[in-house]
Amino acid sequence: MKIFLIKNLLYSLLCVLLFTTNEAHAQVPEFLIPKDIVIQHAGSIGFMSLGIGYPVFKNKRGSLDFNYGYVPEGRGGTLRILSGKFAYRPWKIKISDGIKLYPANPGVFFTYHFGEQFDFYWDKDTYEDGYYWWSTALRPHISISTEVELDALKIFKTSKIKGIRLYSEFNTNELYLVSYFKNVGAVPLRNIFKLGIGLRVSL
Amino acid sequence: MLKLIRALFPLHILFLGCGGLEYSPNQVFSGDSPRNINRNSINRLNEEQGDARIRFILTGDSQRAYKDSKDLIEAINKLPEIDFVILNGDIADFGLYQEMESVNQIFSKLSRPYIGVIGNHDLVANGERVYKHMFGELNFSFVYQGVKFICHNTNSRESSFEGNVPDLAWLKQQFSPETGVDAYIAIAHVPPDDADFDESLATEYVNTINNSSNTLAALFAHTHNHRVFYPGFQKKTPYIITDPIEKRKFVLIEILDGKLKYENISY
């Protein structure tokens, strides 16, 4: 029952986040209105995922995204995944007038898998405490991305879109990491670091 | 210099390879996943029926022990006249696709075919679907040189002790007399005297195995301790549990003239 409630709560939260965008200005405080729309392929948060993003810190080098991802059956699903992602861009390289490169951006994110086979808690009637130590639904990840920013005003001559960013992102999770560190040298890095690519549009 | 390194960083895609697109750690398969590993191994065995002696390896619990698994494969490949290898459950630790894929990458270096049996850790999260996609059915059997090897799911806890694991009806049918079969061997992950085995089914399970026309042995893993015991009334059928791969020991089993011998081997 408790698990059911949590899942529904997360689901509702997502719906609220996705649908209270521009039309609902009057009711929503300014800081809640998303500034970015993010679409990502792979990267452990869905075959495709769609999300909203908020720049954080004064310098706007940080970002906080909430994505909803989907893996269709034909791609190894069906899976529905909610993710909350944070990343920071410590370095910026100006390539040309309208193009900037953020070469290495560390981040952390959490994923939540919906579905009966994934749980926050192990059923207490079936498993003693600590029988399995990890959660199957909630997964912490660390990531590193590379991002190219295109100045929309200069390139596309429009003021409706402020910027377009393309990124590739590697991530791994705690379960892959414990497997890696138990077997240093025996597990290739590509078995634990997984790739995704995405597009971030700043409005 | 630092600037150069930073500018070169996008090349990380090239360094790490483009095979690394992952949709979710819980995905059931990826584009290049192996399929039907067990059926392919059994077909390979059927094509090359060897001499009268059957020699095979019982190992298990490869979960997260990739380094030791590599050494195990090297050790087995050095042994002469091995027919096949049984990886008796807990192939993965977290029921993830990448784990079963990594273990298969290592085990496919075996010079002989291997059979993967379902363990409790393989059933966690989406693991059951991953196992079925990569290895095949949870309950299956094959006949090799007149001996029927009956591989089955005994991970009762993973189905909350609902009384359907192990599937006794299926098992009874498998142990019934059959032309071309002189002997039987039961293979499963959780042994019947373990707390993870459905207690209400244990007696009937042991009877089903022991009361066939000729059961040579029952083989298990899971407990992480090598042990041989003789449950049931007649106390004649050995129930053999293998050490986990991380203990760097396995059991070599030999069947000749209807007699079974076993030996615990360190590497």
Domain ranges of chain B: 38-266
ipTM higher than threshold 0.90: no
Task: Indicate the pairing of strand A99-114 with strand A138-151.
Answer: antiparallel
Contact: B24, A45; criterion CB under 8 Å: yes
Contact: A189, B9; criterion CB under 8 Å: no
Using CA atoms, how far apart are residues B174 and B172, in angstroms rounded to an integer? 5
Contact: B29, A76; criterion CB under 8 Å: yes
- CB atoms near residue A52 (< 10 Å): 21
Q: Which residues of B lie closer than 8 Å to A, measured between beta carbons?
A: 3, 6-7, 9-10, 12-13, 16-30, 64-67, 70, 93-99, 101-102, 124-126, 128, 157, 160-161
Contact: B157, A93; criterion CB under 8 Å: no
Q: So what CATH class is B38-266? A: alpha beta
Kindly report, residue by residue over A119-149, the tens digit of the pLDDT: 887 777 788 877 888 889 999 999 999 999 9
Q: How many CB pairs under 8 A join A and B?
A: 131
The domain A2-202 is classified under which CATH number: 3.40.50, 3.30.70, 2.40.160, 1.10.10?
Answer: 2.40.160
Chain B residues in contact with A170 (beta carbon < 8 A) = 12, 16, 20
Residue of chain B whose alpha carbon sits nearest to that of A91: B6
The tens place of each residue's pLDDT in chain B, 267 residues long, gives 455 445 555 555 555 554 589 999 999 999 888 999 999 999 999 998 678 899 999 999 999 999 999 999 999 999 999 999 999 999 999 999 999 999 999 999 999 999 999 999 999 999 999 999 999 999 999 999 999 999 999 999 999 999 999 999 999 999 999 999 999 999 999 999 999 999 999 999 999 999 998 999 999 999 999 999 999 988 899 999 999 999 999 999 999 999 999 999 999
Contact: A79, B26; criterion CB under 8 Å: yes
- At residue B207, what is the residue type? N
Kindly report, residue by residue over B220-253, the tens digit of the pLDDT: 999 999 999 999 988 899 999 999 999 999 999 9
Task: Indicate the pairing of strand A99-114 with strand A93-96.
Answer: antiparallel
Contact: A146, B95; criterion CB under 8 Å: no
Using CA atoms, how far apart are residues A118 and A88, in angstroms rounded to an integer? 30
Chain B: give the shortest CA distance to residue A159, in Å: 29
Q: Enter the pTM of the model.
A: 0.89
Kindly report, residue by residue over A32-83, the tens digit of the pLDDT: 888 899 999 999 999 999 999 999 998 889 999 999 999 999 999 899 999 9
Hey, what's the torsion of the CAs at B162, B168, B171, B173, to 10 degrees?
-130
